[in-house]
Amino acid sequence: MEVEKVNIWLDCDVGNDDAMAIILALFHPKSNLMGISTCFGNTCLENCTINTIRILSSVGRSDVPVFKGAECSLKSVRATTKMHGNQGLYAADKLIQSFEPMQNIPLYDLIKKSAGEQKFVIVITGPQTNIAILLRDHPEIIPQIQEIVFMGGASGFGNATPNSEYNIYSDPEAAQFVIDTCKQHQLKLVMIALDLTYTCQLVESLQQRIKAINSKFSDWCLEMLQEFQAAYKAQEFDYPPIHDPVAVFYALHPELYITKPLFVAVDCESKLCYGRTVVDKQGVLGLEPTLEFGRKVLVEEFWNQMIEAIRLAAKNSKLE
């Protein structure tokens, strides 16, 4: 039976968990990955772009266009995290790189070329700089966007600072611009925060299932994810949360999530809490909701489909 596909434009900063987001977007049967834009974030733009191309090349999908995006945030230059190793992707040298990013074409034109007149979903798994610029400079694209789903933010805690999550902290002004634009144009915006992604940890039994796929590519995935785990262990996590594919999965299976419309704004002013997402969970401000806040996901089903995507990627793999 033909499944109805969801067209996805992925904006990411690859990144170990971003790599998993790409694999899910490539190999989930409901997904049509139209293209990828890269952003500075987990590492510099150059590395994020090469890492993206490495993943696509290694699973035989050099047909997916890659746009090299923003080098730094809208207002200030932010540091990269060391959580993702020096290159931004563990064991990156074991992958292959068989093509180059697009040249001489603006992001808007590339998206239009890929989408034609079709509707599509934007999934953001890094700083929101590219998409803020796209919406600012080309508001005519907005009617074609079905929804924007982003991984980022947290309610009352953080991983970049005690109060700020990494993606939002990396470009708070861009994130607030995306919130304002979506509100203004009544475009659905979905926030997949740390609150939710911390429930999607790669526990031992899941690692065994990846191991059982037993191929060059699945072995690479496991090695990369286990190095990611080691970095999380230093932060007192037993297992690593695999944040970014949880946002892609929402675009494909919203029925497996519980969300709530909430007022959320980004603190772009304060010294201590710069980049914090203020999530009005109890509606104490009495303000209109600005987005759909992801509260729960069917974790088991997320992992079943994520691991199936790894299995399909392994089947397609060009690694020898």
242 binds ligand BDR per the rule CB under 6 A: no
11 binds ligand BDR per the rule CB under 6 A: no
Q: Which region among 43-51, 62-70, 158-166, 275-283 touches ligand BDR (by CB under 6 A)? A: 158-166
243 binds ligand BDR per the rule CB under 6 A: yes
By beta carbon distance, the residue nearest ligand BDR is 166
Interface with ligand BDR in residues 196-225 (CB under 6 A): none
Whose Cβ is closer to ligand BDR: residue 103's or residue 235's?
235
166 binds ligand BDR per the rule CB under 6 A: yes
170 binds Ca ion per the rule CB under 5 A: no
The single residue among 18, 147, 171, 195 that binds Ca ion, judged by CB under 5 A, is 18
- Report the Cα 11 to chain-centroid distance in Å: 7
Whose Cβ is closer to Ca ion: residue 13's or residue 292's?
13
129 binds ligand BDR per the rule CB under 6 A: no
C-beta separation of 207 from 201 below 8 A: no
Which token pair is 259?
A: 């969300």
Which token pair is 274?
A: 């710069």
- Report the Cα 41 to chain-centroid distance in Å: 11
The single residue among 38, 47, 52, 81 that binds ligand BDR, judged by CB under 6 A, is 81
Q: Which region among 3-11, 12-20, 52-60, 286-294 touches ligand BDR (by CB under 6 A)? A: 12-20
Kindly provide the b/e burial profile for residues 215-246, where b requires at least 16 CB atoms within 10 angstroms of the residue's own CB.
Answer: eebbbbbbebbebbbebbeeeeeebbbbbbbb
Whose Cβ is closer to ligand BDR: residue 165's or residue 171's?
165
Backbone angles phi, psi at 128, to 5 degrees: -95, 15
Of residues 124, 92, 318, 62, the one with CA closest to residue 221: 92
Interface with ligand BDR in residues 41-70 (CB under 6 A): 42
130 binds ligand BDR per the rule CB under 6 A: no
303 binds ligand BDR per the rule CB under 6 A: no
Interface with Ca ion in residues 108-147 (CB under 5 A): 125-126
Closest approach, Cβ 143 to ligand BDR, in A, equals: 28
Lookup result for tokens 């074609």: 144
195 binds ligand BDR per the rule CB under 6 A: no
84 a catalytic residue: no
The residue ranges that bind ligand BDR (CB under 6 A) are 15, 17-18, 42, 81, 83, 125-126, 151, 159, 165-167, 243-244
The residue ranges that bind Ca ion (CB under 5 A) are 13, 15, 18, 125-126, 244
Q: What residues act catalytically?
A: 243
